[in-house]
């Protein structure tokens, strides 16, 4: 079984679970106003449909919250669809969410495009640039052999978004999961990302939040993925014994002129 078959098959089961929840809701009395969270239940929007904002984030704009994420509406395991665009919901209380539809639609014309439904679109993050008054969206694309980034901008949180960069490898590194943050003091923005199975990187973004300056710092080095580290420490399992992490290193600031070190699976002391 290929990686794609394994992943889409699992998502197909998740989709069936969501459809079952929607069917059960449709047999009830209709949409209800929520006053609490209900873990273990399918989370439905104000129209009674399952929320499609997987691997999502929430951003507050004024007094309104926006929850956006991967739309798995058509990810059934029967079609070559990984993600059908980025969907968004709005709420004033974090309980009840109104569907705003797709804020970043899929690119159906070019199969090589990062936003094509068959490509591995993963974990969108949106940040507001107070200086340019733009909403900047970074999306991880799980390509072979690298995980790259696609960057889009918009005047509004709900779009439309314009593609500005694609195929970006952060600092030329193998970069995994990430997040974006802007300092409330000076508006300086950063991307934190996992240098795959190695360490955490804090990379400076430029004034537009759409690219890197080249400066970065390194944090929390590890000699491999967590499970690998557990075996090196002699722990029989991650649950049975605490894991001893290596001492935290002092963050190192690297100017753009220094070539990023190649990603390695282990680090000498």
- Please tell me whether the overall predicted TM-score, pTM, comes out greater than 0.85 for this model: no
Q: What percent of the chain has pLDDT over 90?
A: 62
pLDDT at 72 over 50: yes
What mean pLDDT comes out for the span 260-268?
A: 36
- CA proximity to 44, closest of 74, 65, 66, 20: 20
Domain-located, residue 265: no
Domain-located, residue 145: yes
At residue 9, the 3 state secondary structure works out as helix
Count of structural domains within the chain:
1
Q: What percent of the chain has pLDDT over 70?
A: 71
Domain-located, residue 91: yes
Q: What tens digit of pLDDT does each residue of 39-64 get?
A: 999 999 999 999 999 999 999 999 99
Domain-located, residue 185: yes
Q: What tens digit of pLDDT does each residue of 232-244 get?
A: 434 333 333 233 3
CB atoms within 10 A of CB 240: 8
What mean pLDDT comes out for the span 65-84?
A: 92
pLDDT at 17 over 90: no
Query: What is the overall mean pLDDT for the chain?
Result: 80
Give the bridge partners for 141, in sequence order. 121, 148
Of the pLDDT bands very low, low, confident and very high (cuts 50, 70, 90), residue 225 is: low
The pLDDT score that the predictor gives to residue 143 is 84
Say how far apart CA 140 and CA 148 lie, in whole Å.
6
Q: What tens digit of pLDDT does each residue of 167-197 get?
A: 999 999 989 899 999 999 999 999 999 998 8
What mean pLDDT comes out for the span 103-126?
A: 94
pLDDT at 4 over 80: no
CB 126 within 8 A of CB 136: yes
- CA proximity to 255, closest of 204, 194, 199: 204
Say how far apart CA 59 and CA 127 lie, in whole Å.
8
Domain-located, residue 140: yes
CATH number of the domain at 55, please: 2.115.10.20
Better-scored residue on pLDDT, 78 or 71: 71
Domain-located, residue 34: no
Q: How many CA atoms lie within 13 A of 249 on its CB side?
A: 16
User: By residue range, what is the domain housing residue 154?
Assistant: 3-27+43-254
Domain-located, residue 49: yes
CB 239 within 8 A of CB 252: no
Domain-located, residue 99: yes
């Amino acid at each position: 079984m290929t990686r794609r078959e394994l992943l889409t098959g699992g998502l197909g089961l998740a989709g069936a679970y969501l459809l079952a929840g929607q069917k059960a809701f449709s047999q009830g009395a209709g949409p209800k106003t929520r006053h609490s969270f209900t873990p273990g239940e399918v989370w439905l929007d104000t129209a009674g449909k399952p929320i499609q904002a997987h691997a999502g984030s929430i951003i507050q704009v004024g007094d309104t919250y926006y929850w956006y994420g991967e739309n798995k509406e058509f990810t059934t395991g029967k079609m070559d669809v990984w993600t059908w665009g980025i969907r968004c919901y709005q709420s004033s209380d974090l309980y009840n969410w109104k569907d705003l539809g797709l804020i970043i639609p899929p690119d159906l014309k070019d199969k090589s495009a990062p936003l094509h439904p068959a490509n591995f679109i993963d974990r969108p993050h949106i940040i507001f640039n107070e200086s340019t008054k733009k909403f900047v969206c970074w999306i991880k694309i799980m390509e072979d052999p690298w995980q790259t980034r696609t960057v889009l901008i918009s005047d509004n949180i709900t779009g439309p978004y314009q593609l500005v960069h694609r195929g970006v490898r952060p600092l030329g590194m193998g970069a995994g999961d990430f997040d974006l943050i802007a300092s409330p003091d000076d508006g300086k923005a950063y991307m934190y990302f996992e240098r795959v199975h190695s360490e955490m990187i804090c990379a400076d973004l430029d004034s537009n939040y759409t690219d890197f300056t080249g400066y970065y710092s390194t944090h929390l080095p590890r000699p491999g993925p967590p499970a690998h580290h557990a075996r090196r420490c002699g722990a029989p399992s991650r649950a049975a014994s605490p894991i001893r992490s290596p001492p935290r290193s002092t963050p190192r600031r690297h100017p753009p002129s220094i070539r990023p070190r190649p990603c390695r699976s282990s680090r000498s002391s």
